[in-house]
């Protein structure tokens, strides 16, 4: 009867249909729900379109109104996440003059971002499917992931005579690889009883920055 209408689905947030021009509202909600579910469930495989729809409060076919398929949805989430990462790194070095200290700060920001969103970091950086997204477009990825910030800091360090002369891209890659390796291990091998992040990070920065230092 009257109550049956209420009982048809469990305690879903009954979504209001978007107004005429607001077709992208649902799109944004779907993106946000997918990002949340990634954080909660782990790999992209475990995030089903049905679960996304349930989280949003719409039907699963509605997703296909805004994304051609599941891969495109996850791709879009990835892109958003890469942008956030670049922002975080950019914010971390702001106001720091010494380029070596910039590198230290950027490394910390990168690591913290990864460990705060481990599953999103996973699909960005550890999942082959999405790893293949940025097809041989190193420049593009480099800037969207904040990598170019690191390269600039290294270059600046060399220019000022703080770091030993070298190919700044190679040097930056080595730093990136190190931090990426650290957070990957922390994310993947969660119950390995490793030293705390700060200690690992401090040690890594000391070692690798000392190795780069001009003598």
Partner DNA sequence: TGTACATCAGTGAACGCGCGTTCACTGATGTAC
Residues binding a copy of itself (CB under 8 A): 42-43, 45, 122, 125-128, 131-132, 134-136, 138, 141, 166-167, 169-171, 173-174, 176-182, 184-185, 187-195, 199-200, 203-204, 206-212
The single residue listed with the structure tokens 């009954």 is 14
Examine residue 59 and tell whether it contacts DNA (CB under 7 A).
Answer: yes
Q: Least distance from C-beta 110 to a copy of itself, angstroms? A: 12
Q: Is 43 in the site for DNA (CB under 7 A)?
A: no
HSE (side-chain half, CA atoms, 13 Å) at 192: 13
> Which one among 13, 61, 161, 196 touches DNA, defined by CB under 7 A?
61
Q: Tell me, residue by residue from 63 to 92, as one string, x for binding to DNA by CB under 7 A and - for no binding.
A: xxx---xxx---------------------
Half-sphere CA count of 191, side-chain side, radius 13 A: 0
Closest CA to 162 of 153, 172, 150, 170: 153
DSSP 123-168: IIII-HHHHTSSTT-HHHHHHHTTHHHHHHHHHHHHHTTSB-S--H
Min CB(117)–DNA separation in Å: 20
Distance between CA 210 and CA 215 in Å, rounded? 10
Q: Which residues pair with 163 in a beta bridge?
A: 213
Binding of DNA by 19 (CB under 7 A): yes
Q: How far is the CB of 103 from DNA (least distance, A)?
A: 39
60 versus 80: smaller Cβ distance to DNA: 60
What is the rounded distance in angstroms from the CA atom of residue 137 to the CA atom of residue 114?
Answer: 22
Residues lying near DNA in the complex (CB under 7 A) are found at 8, 15, 17-23, 25-26, 47-51, 57-65, 69-71
């Amino acid at each position: 009867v009257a109550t049956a209408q209420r009982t048809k689905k469990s305690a879903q947030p009954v979504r209001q249909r978007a107004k005429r021009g607001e077709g992208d509202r649902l799109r944004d909600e779907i993106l946000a729900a997918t990002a949340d579910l990634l954080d909660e469930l782990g790999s992209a495989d475990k995030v089903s379109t049905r679960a996304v729809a349930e989280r949003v409060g719409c039907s699963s076919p509605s997703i296909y109104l805004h994304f051609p398929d599941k891969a495109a949805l996850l791709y879009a989430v990835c892109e958003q996440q890469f942008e956030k990462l670049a922002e975080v790194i950019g914010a971390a070095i702001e106001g720091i003059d010494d380029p070596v200290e910039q590198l230290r700060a950027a490394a910390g920001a990168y690591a913290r971002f990864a460990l705060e969103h481990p599953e999103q970091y996973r699909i960005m950086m550890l999942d082959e499917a999405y790893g293949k997204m940025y097809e041989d477009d190193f420049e593009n990825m480099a800037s969207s992931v904040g990598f170019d910030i690191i390269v600039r800091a290294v270059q600046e360090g060399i220019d000022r005579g703080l770091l030993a002369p070298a190919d700044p891209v190679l040097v930056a890659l080595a730093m990136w690889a190190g931090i990426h390796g650290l957070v990957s291990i922390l994310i993947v091998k969660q119950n390995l009883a490793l030293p705390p992040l700060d200690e690992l990070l401090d040690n890594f920065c000391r070692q690798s920055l000392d190795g780069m230092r001009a003598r």
